[in-house]
Structure 1
């Protein structure tokens, strides 16, 4: 039985892809005799996607009847009217319109499996990308010194020891702040190039040229010695499957973007039954200070990739949909008014998307007050009316079965908002 240990610590192991042409032969041989029974069956899985750069929630899901918004976004405002210039918003409920480049979400919203939370953000009013992301991923918006991430704490609250190093997986080149902590978590850039690299130990700098056994014997890192078994098992799990030949279900075609590739690989891990319960992926490019565009441009491309990637993943997992919930997050939103370069600057509240069979979908949850200047935070930003911890804790509690918000989000005393089925 593999115990819960943090893979990523000083001198620890980072599991991720490097371009060495796949798993080295000596490592494959070392684990060839290892067998592993099927791990977790019918466990719930949470997939989190961080939209780094701060998504303009008012453009993704627009309160299109708001006259003030129309006035302060003369070239960015989009209408839901069918005779509007260019593509019109997708009318969700007579009040909010979905960006037309997110049309992939329309049917699943109508099917009440996609929920949107608007006015979501952090109680900390920083507009620094680094600080806001750090606070959101640690789950402690007023404590910079928190050493663990909220998803790592969630792993620790699942109620069982991990019997697989793939319980918590990030499809990124390095471990995200959300997964820092003492519970098992790995970062894998590319499954088809899966490998082990020693971090913080010069003896492991050129692992591929050494015998793993020699490195294991020579290292002074106690963590490496204690995780050696985990490493062999991790390699063995992936070595048994030709991940490069993966064929998605239902003739699904994933976008060839970084996010599409990450979600495709998460789908593979779910189907391989390697015991994954929490997964993490990233989407970049949301810092739209310049030439944001409307139905075309950088924002339209980003939301198109986000929605198409998520829906490809969802449709690929048709047989597993009852087990999976997908949740997006972004560090803050954008200013209500556009700036002089056809973009928007750092703001406060945004919106997020939660997809799953256990969400109260087909609704825009949360509160967006009329965008008159007197209702704006600091006279310029969409006010935060829903603390992100209210949403994250509700998803973790009701989807993963975690019921210890004092550990999951220390210093948080808020309540759920009712966007998950009980």
Structure 2
């Protein structure tokens, strides 16, 4: 599928290598055929040009207020504005790092707590910025980067096993924990150190693909091959 990539941070219009005339010309010549890959490349180029045009309009129409100080909130606000303005943008992906807290993790004022605060603030900004579009939007927060249940000798937590998936949106039946919850007692830990995995993340993703994006079984099998549901999670 055609996609457009934007750098995060204060300068989303920073030119990429593909924007250099010589590089762009070379790739345009390389993918000038009628095969599916060439067509996808050209559609992706068109998608990027459309996004850059939207950003130009955003900068022109921006008010005099200062941007939000938090980087993730700023990116979330920009994505919300783009999705509200351009209905062709159906999917958006954002990445946030800084979760590798092996040492000096801190408690309620530490590094992990601060990062979670930034994540929460950005999600709130995204929901608010979407306005009425939020009612038809589903936001998924997930990571393979879990933390151990018990703190190590360096005041941090090492790489864990199980993790959490957050789902929010206008039609999400929120306010509860879905799936099995074995608890945090040592007898329930995976390999005596980690949170055990009780829910296959594909059970969550497949529910959203079916009931939010309305994909059929054949389409679902293309996205999640060799997948067999383990439990029914009614999120919507």
Which TM class, normalised by the smaller chain length?
0.7 to 0.9
**Structure 2 match to 1:316:** 129
**Structure 1 match to 2:4:** 186
How many residue pairs match? The answer is: 226
Tell me the distance in 1 between the aligned counterparts of 2:51 and 2:144: 34
Contact kept, 8 Å, 1:195 with 1:235, in 2: the verdict is: no
Contact kept, 8 Å, 1:255 with 1:309, in 2: the verdict is: no
- The Cα of 1:287 is off from its aligned counterpart by 1.1
Compared CA separation, residues 260 and 245, structure 1 to 2 (3 A): farther
Compared CA separation, residues 331 and 232, structure 1 to 2 (3 A): closer
Whichever of the two has the greater Rg, that structure is 1
Contact kept, 8 Å, 1:394 with 1:416, in 2: the verdict is: no
Tell me the distance in 2 between the aligned counterparts of 1:186 and 1:320: 21
State which of 221, 231, 235 in structure 2 corresponds to 1:406. Answer: 221
SS where residue 366 of structure 1 aligns?
coil
Compared CA separation, residues 285 and 410, structure 1 to 2 (3 A): same
Compared CA separation, residues 237 and 266, structure 1 to 2 (3 A): closer
Tell me the distance in 1 between the aligned counterparts of 2:23 and 2:208: 44
Compared CA separation, residues 335 and 233, structure 1 to 2 (3 A): closer
Aligned positions of 1:268-283 closer than 5 A = 268-273=81-86, 275-283=88-96
Q: Which has the higher contact order (CA 8 A, sep 6+)?
A: 1
Q: Is residue 2:49 matched to residue 1:235?
A: yes
Gaps of 5+ in 2: none
State which of 141, 153, 164 in structure 2 corresponds to 1:328. Answer: 141
**Structure 1 match to 2:70:** 256
Compared CA separation, residues 253 and 368, structure 1 to 2 (3 A): farther
Compared CA separation, residues 320 and 274, structure 1 to 2 (3 A): closer
**Structure 1 match to 2:29:** 219
- The Cα of 1:297 is off from its aligned counterpart by 1.1
Gaps of 5+ in 1: 1-182, 199-205
Between structures 1 and 2, the one with greater strand share = 1
Tell me the distance in 1 between the aligned counterparts of 2:205 and 2:152: 31
Aligned positions of 1:299-314 closer than 5 A = 299-314=112-127
- The Cα of 1:370 is off from its aligned counterpart by 3.4
Tell me the distance in 2 between the aligned counterparts of 1:326 and 1:256: 19
Tell me the distance in 1 between the aligned counterparts of 2:50 and 2:140: 30
- The Cα of 1:284 is off from its aligned counterpart by 0.3
SS where residue 362 of structure 1 aligns?
coil
